[in-house]
Amino acid sequence: MADKRQNEPMPDVLLELTEGYGEILAMLDQSIAMRRIVDEVPELSGVDVAWLGEPDGGDRIVLGHTVNARTPAVNGLVVPHGCGLGGQVLLRRRPLWVSDYRRSDTITHDFNAQAETEGLGAMIAVPVLHEGRLLSVLYGSNRETSALGDRTTQALEQAASRAATAAVTAERARHAAEIAVHEERRRIALELHDTVGAMLFSIGAGIRTLADELPDGDSAHTRLNDLKEQATQAAAALRVSLHALSAPPEQVALGVALRGDCRAFQERTGIIARFITVTEVPSLSPAHIKAFKDVTREALLNVEKHARARSVVVSAFTLSGGVCVTVADDGVGPPPAYGFSGGLGLSAMSERLGRLGGEVHVLRNEDGGVSVQAWIPA
């Protein structure tokens, strides 16, 4: 007998959870998030057509994600720096609009043919910016020539702000996923080294011992030499593979290292430890990464010894022309004997970072606990 519950409507709470889950997934996928925002532009702003220009190198954008378009004339169009309306937005980094795209005397007319094919009149383009970095250009256009009012401009600017948030959120989620992947690769590499590597070493040692025990001239020597050579080659191939598996790319090397330290700290102490990337962090030299690792490990060790914390957060972000790593706990603060000007390994941390032009500070958190903040110029 069929389950009657299959035909029952989904409870409201499940519908809300399903929709919420969809929203979260959309925020983690930049393409989906952008598509959703562009889809809403005509209704929110009153324009007839909308689309997005995405950077392709530093001096041009490629148009796509069209909404309400009648032809494919806009999709895939490459707009160089300074050309047309979008090219002017690339140049000036501010919203611009024209009441008649094909006849305006404030822009070039490299794309009049495409505008005529699609039947575009008034047009507006708004930059999608985050901390001065251009992420894309959001367009809106009417079929007729007309002035574009404040409502349209404000609606496009609000949509651009949401698009910037969506792009940055997706970028950070992707970065976090890459860090997690490479951390897992390192873990697998270590396991293979400790298991397969040890087995190959034992096999090679066993072959050598067996060969030594055989009398000279024994016909088995040739076969054992072949096996020994194969074991040596297998061990060498394993070392090459382990190096490739455990070496993360420069863009995520710092995150992989600090996430690994957090995981080891949590496994050792039982204290919850998380790593987050607050902003995009530039690639760092091995010396910079090692300095941050040393400071982080020292700070985590002090949390373990003195803080009586329940959780600790390690964060990385750009600050004042450099990179900053902060280790913040929710504990009771340092013992009175240490204070905030000495102890806690602060002298050693300062010396390590000072060689690279950096500095370290130990601060009391507003809600209790301590933050150790290390900064190095990038």
pLDDT for the residue numbered 96: 94
Q: What is the pLDDT of residues 190-217, one digit of tens each?
A: 888 888 888 888 888 888 888 888 888 7
Name the pTM for this structure.
0.51
d(CA 29, CA 169): 9
Structure tokens at 161: 């702000």
pLDDT number for residue 165: 81
* pLDDT, tens digit, 9 for 90 and up, residues 223-250: 888 888 888 888 888 887 776 666 566 6
Phi, psi of 372, deg, nearest 5? -105, 120
Mean pLDDT of the chain: 82
Q: What pLDDT does residue 300 have?
A: 92
- 200 φ, ψ (degrees, to nearest 5): -65, -40
The C-alpha atoms of residue 346 and residue 341 are separated, in whole angstroms, by 8
Q: State what percent of residues in the chain have pLDDT above 70.
A: 84
**Cβ of 350: how many Cβ atoms within 10 Å?**
17
Average pLDDT (257-270) is 88
Higher pLDDT, 342 or 87: 87
Model confidence at 86: pLDDT above 50: yes
Q: How confident is the model at residue 12 (pLDDT cuts 50, 70, 90)?
A: low
* Whole-number Å distance between alpha carbons of 299 and 349: 9
Strand pairing class (123-130; 96-98)? antiparallel
The CB-based long-range contact list for 332-341 (8 Å cut-off, 24+ gap) reads: 332/307, 332/308, 332/368, 332/369, 333/307, 333/364, 333/368, 333/369, 333/370, 334/302, 334/306, 334/362, 334/370, 335/306, 338/306, 340/364
More confident residue, 96 or 218: 96
* CA atoms within 13 A of residue 120's CA, in its CB half-sphere: 32
- Residue 2, pLDDT score: 43
Mean pLDDT on 180-190: 76
Q: Residue 3 — very low, low, confident or very high, per pLDDT cuts 50/70/90?
A: very low
For tokens 């009648």, the residue is 70
Give me the long-range contacts of 76-83 (CB less than 8 A, separation at least 24). Answer: 77/111, 77/114, 79/53, 79/111, 82/108, 83/108, 83/110, 83/111
φ, ψ for residue 155, nearest 5 deg: -65, -40
Does the pLDDT value for residue 335 go beyond 90? no
Q: Please answer whether residues 173 and 276 qualify as being in contact, where contact means their C-beta atoms are separated by less than 8 angstroms.
A: no
pLDDT score for 80: 94
The better pLDDT of the pair 24, 300 is held by 300
> What is residue 248's predicted lDDT score, i.e. its pLDDT?
64
21 pLDDT tier (thresholds 50, 70, 90)? very low
